[in-house]
Structure 1
Amino acid sequence: MTPYVLTVDARTQDLRAADHLLLTLAAELALPEGTFGCTHLVRDDRPRVTVSLALDSERALHAAREGLLRMGHEVTDGAPDETGRAVLYPGADTLTGTVTIADVLSRTAIDRVTVLGTPAAPDPSTRLVTRDHVRPQWLNGELALTTMPAAGGTLIPFEVPNPTPCCADH
C-alpha cells in the first residue's frame, strides 16, 4: 500500500453500501487508475464500515481530500487498519465471468489466491467463476483472495455477491 491514504467515515452500516460508496467516489472524483479503495469494519462504541482510499501521489491525495470535503464527507489521514477488504484495485475491472488463477495473478494487484481448507495454492490453470464480485483482503502486506471449491473443478470467491441477511426468514 502507499503512504497516501485517506479514510472516509460516511457512517455506513453494511458492506454493500460501503462498496457502492467506493464505486461512486471513484467515478465522481475521477480517481487515478492505480487507486486502492478498501472497506474496514470498525468495532467500537459505534460499529460501522469505513472506507479508505490509497492513492499513488501526494497530489492525488490532496485532490481527493478536497473533493471529499466538498461532498461533505468526514475525512481523516491514514487507514483505520492494515486489513482492508479491497473493492477498487488495479485490474479489478478485468475480473468478470470466468478467468484462470494465472489471469488473476497476472492482470490484477492480487498477490495470492488461497483455497479455503487447503494448504496448497491452486493450480494456475484452475478456473475462477468470479460472479463479477471479487473482494480480496490485505493480509500481511499482500492482497490475498480467498476462494472455495465449486462445481466442475472450478473455484469461486469466498465472499458471495448478495448474501442473505441474518434471520431473513423471520
Structure 2
Amino acid sequence: MYYMEHDSPVGRLTLTATDKGLSGLYFEEHKYFTGTQDRQRQPDQIHLRDARQQLDEYFRQQRTRFDVPLDLQGTPFQRAVWQALLTLPFGHTSTYSMIAQHVARPNAVRAAGTAIGRNPLSIIVPCHRVLGMSGALSGYAGGLERKRFLLELEKTMKKTGGADESLMIIAA
C-alpha cells in the first residue's frame, strides 16, 4: 500500500493506493483516516500520480469526471452505496433517502448515511453531492465548508459550461 500528500484548494489531502487502484482520499482531520504508518510514501505510484493530476484538473475546472482505477474496501452494503454515489452526475445532488432507494434498501436511510460518511474516497466518489431531505447541507467528513466549496465549484463549472445554473436534486 502506498500514499502521498497533496496540497489542494480544500487543504492538504492524503491519497492512498494499492496496486489495484486508488483506495483513499482523506482531508486533514478526517475522522475515519487511520494514518499512513503501514503504507509506503511513493508519490510516483501510477494510481496516486493519476489521481493527483485528475484532482488538479478538477480544481482548475478542467475535469468533471474521474477515471482513475479504484480499490474500494468495505462491506457489500458500503460498496453498493459508494457505487450509487458514482452514478451521481457532475453538478447534481441527491439525498440520503434516494441513495437508500437506489441500493434497494429504502428503509435503510441511516445505514446509507453511515456508509456515505465512511466513504474512503472523498471528492472522487462524490459524497459531497448528497444533501439532507430538505436540500440542506448535512454531514461531511471533510467539514461543511469543504462540502459547500465543492458544490459551488461544480455549480460554477456547470454555469461556465452553459449548463443550468442551479444544482438540482435527482433520483439516484
Q: Which has the higher contact order (CA 8 A, sep 6+)?
A: 2
TM-score w.r.t. the length of structure 2 is: 0.28
Q: Please say which structure displays the higher CA radius of gyration.
A: 1
Higher strand share: 1
